[in-house]
Amino acid sequence: MNEAVIFISLAALFGVFMAWGIGANDVANAMATSVGSKALTIRQAILVAAVFEFIGAVLAGGEVTSTIRKGIIDASLLSDSPELLVYGMLAALLAAGCWLFIASHKGWPVSTTHSIVGAIVGFAAVGIGMEAVKWGKVGSIVLSWVISPLTAGIIAFLIFRSVQWLIIEREDPLPRARRYVPFYMFLAGFTITLVTLFKGLKHVGLHLSTTEAYAIAAGVGIVIALVGRFFIQRIKVDRKADKQFHFHTVERVFGILMVVTACGMAFAHGSNDVANAIGPVAAVVSIADSGVVGQKSPIPIWVLLLGGIGIVFGLATYGVRVIATVGQRITHLTPSRGFAAELAAASTIVVASGTGMPISTTHTLVGAVLGVGMARGIAAIDLGVVGRILLSWVVTIPAGAIMAIVFYYILKAILG
């Protein structure tokens, strides 16, 4: 069995493991608000995620992806010894996959991007040398720990306060919900479409100007608002349920909206974050095929399929734990609160795409859920859970780096 076949087989194996970890941890975040607010059951969420994450990963997961994720290291320093980059990428995949497995087991929502970045930094520091790591990039990622949750938290707080002020705190919440929710539906359709165009379809070769993207997003938003309005007008008032919980029918209106946002977020997430698993795989395949260290390489369709299947499988088998943490343990979510969190997360991603702000989907959503909780007062938040989540974020990059160093030396000893 020649060396190239061994490298590609190991890359495929570790890539599926990493994709499984993304499904277990990151996709769970995208679905957590929908499940926690009871807009979707866990089975429905897995089905929605399976369809939209898979479509996003395979259709828009990257015609050409920068194999060295986010330009964290200078791979040209390894042009004389490409096999070292192979060991490094394999070690990074295995390390990031292992860390995601541990985090998912504990129910910690961590960033898959940071896991793979930490792992690549660890391997590069020992395998190539400290000068190979672009520390400025690493610094901007550390900055995103503060920026993403803070931005999303503030936006979520403001959105949910507007829902409280316009609808929930009024004498006639249902008529007002029928009047104002289509406007929120427009906003949701608009931002989710922008997320999809900016993050989801940039790899397909669909080159839209910013004006065109905004025009398409506005059109989609209007359609969603009109369709939503049609369904909202048909929601029957459940007097009995409204007696037990005054806002039962109002929350059902927001429940319709949550399903729309969940589908859009799953597509954008699948298209964007599958690169964390398949970028290193593509690098290994490219080197094994050509023997040359190339910064960019076209991704074979089987690698995209591998990533898509791994993500779906991870959510289905192990995603429940992280869904429980984000959707139920931080603060109590209802459809209106979950919607505010999801819209805030999507808006933050749009802002980040436009400004080049480093961002983590996970940190963004957790920050948004915290913002919704804060709108009801600090007592509505479980600070113990939040503390454990923050600690897991800080540990992610060093944990990935240490594991990658260990695996790098093991792989080098076995394969070299």
**Chain segment 313-352, per-residue pLDDT in tens:** 998 888 888 888 888 888 888 888 888 888 888 888 777 7
What's the confidence (pLDDT) of residue 379?
80
Q: Which value, in Å, is the radius of gyration of the alpha carbons in the chain? A: 22
Average pLDDT in the 345-361 region?
A: 74
Distance of CA 191 to the CA centre of its chain: 16
Model confidence at 35: pLDDT above 50 = yes
| Cβ neighbours for 101, distance < 8 A, ≥ 6 positions apart | 21, 24
Coil, helix or strand for 416? Answer: coil
For the ranges 177-186, 211-220, 270-279, 344-353, the maximum mean pLDDT occurs at 211-220
CB count, 10 Å around CB of 181?
Answer: 25
**Mean pLDDT across the chain, nearest whole number?**
82
Please state the pTM of the whole predicted model. 0.84
CA dihedral 305, 309, 312, 314 (to 10 degrees): -130
The residues with which 296 forms a beta bridge, in sequence order, are 66
What's the confidence (pLDDT) of residue 63?
43
CB count, 10 Å around CB of 154?
Answer: 16
Closest CA to 372 of 337, 344, 335: 337
Contact call for residues 396 and 109 (beta carbons, < 8 A): no
pLDDT single digits (tens) 291-308: 666 656 567 778 888 888
Tokens of 147: 């920026």
Average pLDDT in the 92-105 region?
A: 94
Model confidence at 98: pLDDT above 90 = yes
Tokens of 136: 């400025």
